[in-house]
Amino acid sequence: MAQTDTVTRILDTAEVLFAERGFAETSLRTITSKARVNLAAVNYHFGSKKALIQAVFSRYLDPFTVRFHHALDELEAQHAGAVIPLEQLLETMARTVLEVPAEKHSLKVFMKLLGLAYSQAQGHLRRHIQEEYGSVFTRFTDLVRRATPELPDAERFWRLHFVLGTVIFTLSGLDALRDIAEKDYHEHVSVRDLIRRLRPVVVAAMNAPLPPPPAAQPAKAS
């Protein structure tokens, strides 16, 4: 209990501070003093600051991948080899993302961390996430491919990242946006409200008409 307590206290404090300020802007002394543990405890338990950062992510992503694999297993069993509709795939992902942090941590923090991983990670974090959790993403995209056979592979790749950008950007910047929205339209927006609004937009984005071909545009016009 003693060990667990210190380790989780560090993780709980670190994830909040990381989400608020970013990785480089959060010092180990800030974390340890706010968590009321010894400065040396971080290097004792985790080895380094980089390892701490990765541990913070693993605490979210490990249970997420387990649950998501299970959810996809069920979904595939239900459809018995048939193609799973895109809406159900997105629905399953959304539900899993909502379930995991709901247990103890904050969804907002989880999304902020994901946003940071994309924008701030020089190398080690993005590499760590890709190597450790890339397989779930690959399984998901394979199912999406079968659900959208009319889309060229490259087009689907980009559109998945388009909607990924929408979700991460919106949910990671939620606090600031919510303040504006509540002041201007005085209606409270919960995360589940946002996901309700997100669903038709994401589906429409994935099903948008194909763009016109590149239309050879260089100097010599026809």
Partner DNA sequence: TCCCACTGAAAACAACTGTTTTAAACATTA
Partner DNA sequence: TAATGTTTAAAACAGTTGTTTTCAGTGGGA
Residues lying near DNA in the complex (CB under 7 A) are found at: 1-7, 26-30, 36-45, 47-50
Residue 115 as a binder of its own copies (CB under 8 A): the answer is: yes
Residue 28 interacting entry, from DNA, its own copies, none, C-beta within 5 to 8 Å by type? DNA
* Binding-site partner at residue 127 among DNA, its own copies, none, CB < 5 to 8 Å by type: none
Q: How far is the CB of 62 from DNA (least distance, A)?
A: 19
Residue 43 interaction partner, one of its own copies, DNA, none, beta carbon < 5-8 Å per kind: DNA
Task: Spell out the alpha helix ranges (H) of the chain.
Answer: 2-21, 28-34, 39-45, 49-79, 86-102, 107-119, 124-147, 153-172, 174-185, 191-206
- Alpha carbons 129 and 117: distance in angstroms, whole number: 9
172 binds its own copies (CB under 8 A): yes
Nearer to DNA, 28 or 191 (CB): 28
Enter the tokens of residue 111.
């999304």
DSSP letter (8 states) at residue 120: T
> For its own copies, which residue of 214, 218, 219, 222 counts as binding (CB under 8 A)?
214
Among the listed residues 154, 216, 219, 221, the single contact to its own copies using CB under 8 A: 154
* Binds its own copies by CB under 8 A, chosen from 50, 79, 126, 146: 126
Q: Given the structure tokens 């659900």, which residue do they identify?
A: 147
H/E segment holding residue 117: helix 107-119
Contact between residue 33 and residue 11 where contact means Cβ atoms under 8 Å apart: no
Alpha-carbon distance of 193 to 177, in angstroms, equals 13
Please give the Cα distance from 131 to 57 (Å, whole number): 13
- Minimum Å gap between C-beta 51 and DNA is 8
Binding-site partner at residue 98 among DNA, its own copies, none, CB < 5 to 8 Å by type: none
